[in-house]
Every structure is written in C-alpha cells, then in structure tokens.
Amino acid sequence: MDYSKDGGSATEHSGVASRLVTLLDSVRAASPALKVFPLPQVVLFPGTALPLHVFEPRYRALVHDCLATDQVMALVQIRPGFEDQAPGRPPVQEMGCAGLIVASEELEGGKFNIVLQGVVRVRLLEELPSRNPYREVRVEVVEDAPYRGMAEELLQQAVLEVSHRLPPEAAGGLVQLAVQNRGGALADVLGAALVLDPERRQHILAERNVQFRLQMVLSEVGGLMAKLAPAKPMMPS
C-alpha cells in the first residue's frame, strides 16, 4: 500500500489549516467562560474525536446550551483519587482539551449522544462562580510551537516498525496517522491511538514542549514494540 509522504495536496492542507483557524477562534472567544465537562479517567487530545453518552442532568444542560450557541466545550480529567466525588465539584487537572461538538443525537428523556472533536489544549486559570448547573472556567489557550526535528522522525520510523507487527486493519490506520501529521499533532494523534492508561495520557496532554511530548510517545511506542512479536520474515517463493 502506497502512502504519500506529504499526506495530501496543498489545497487539502490549506483547507484544513483554514478550518483549524476558525475552530481556534471559536475556542478563544469562549475562553473567558468555557463550559467544562469533567470526567474520571478520560483524556481528549487535539485532533482526535471522542464519542460521549451524556445522561446526567447538569451535563445534558451543558450540551443543550453548547448546541444552542457556539458548540464549544472542554473535557478535563478529574484528578485521581477524587473520582467518587464526580457528582459534586471534584478537583480537576490543570490541562484539558477544548473541542467542538461535531455530531449530536438527542435521545428520549433529554439524554444525548455526541461526538466531541478536540481542537486545542487549554490551561485552567480559575473556576467561575456558578450561574448554570454545570461548571465554567476561564482558560488560557495553549497552542503548539512549530517543530521539525529528530524526535518527529524517530517517532514516525518507530510507528512504521510497529505496524509490521500488527494486523493489517490496525496497521494501515496507524501508518496514515504517522505520515499525515507533524510536530505536536503527531504526538497527540499517536498518543490517543496507542496510550491506554489515563494517567500517562494526561501526562502527554499536559506536556507543552513538543519535542518532549514526541519523546514521551516514542517511549510508549518502544514499550509496545517490546510486547509484540517480531514481524515474520518473508519466505522465498
């Protein structure tokens, strides 16, 4: 299977970049009072999508208000050890991810199924006084600095090596992620795809230095490679 190294035409990249700017503008506009959905052991990364079933009344209200306005909300992880306080207002991680509701289905009883598309990291600065059933926070929008360097190349190469040890249906999607993303986005999409442990996912999300983040995901890929059987050599015909 042939994968283009540039990951698409200039027109496609221009369209994606333009859409990202629009989404970032929406998040920036919402940043003084951003609606927030705290969840235990869940981490959303920029550039990835997360399906959610929303049933609790206050978060049904959150989704309803999002859909009626800008569709922007943030997902933040409840700090470990406070999961049993989820019905209240437990402390949450400082770094979360703001996203856009890109698909929604209202169910019987006012529940929702939604898909939240991650847009950008946000650092929580303060929680605002209650004016709605759900929580709102003031945030700093945290964008990645441009990065091109060895850590990026090493991670891409490691993913290509891992793909040879995976079933074809899994390998193809992983390789596509590796060749179509760069810099911080590369670390984010691969971290989302390969790292299952919520604590390690949160550490990756919280890392603002793109090179360090790429190295963190590279370490995870190395651990995965050690667990997988080596690729079988091709037998001569």
Q: Name which of 233, 187, 235 is nearest 213 in CA terms.
A: 187
Torsion on CA atoms 192, 194, 199, 203, rounded to nearest 10: -60
Q: Which fold has domain 13-142?
A: 2.30.130
C-alpha span between 167 and 2 (Å, rounded): 17
142: Cβ contacts below 8 Å, ≥ 6 apart: 95, 120, 121, 122, 123, 208
Q: What is the mean pLDDT of residues 58-75?
A: 96
Query: Is the fold of 13-142 the same as that of 145-227?
Result: no
Q: What is the mean pLDDT of residues 223-235?
A: 67
CATH architecture of 145-227: Up-down Bundle (1.20)
Give me the pLDDT at residue 12, please: 45
Lowest mean pLDDT across 36-50, 57-71, 78-92, 149-163: 78-92
Give me the pLDDT at residue 4, please: 33
C-alpha span between 145 and 15 (Å, rounded): 20
Residue % of the chain over a pLDDT of 90: 71
pLDDT band of 228, cuts 50, 70, 90: confident
Give me the pLDDT at residue 232, please: 53
Lowest mean pLDDT across 106-120, 148-162, 217-231: 217-231
Give me the pLDDT at residue 236, please: 53
Give me the pLDDT at residue 85, please: 76
Lowest mean pLDDT across 5-14, 71-80, 228-237: 5-14
What residues does each domain of the chain span? Answer: 13-142, 145-227
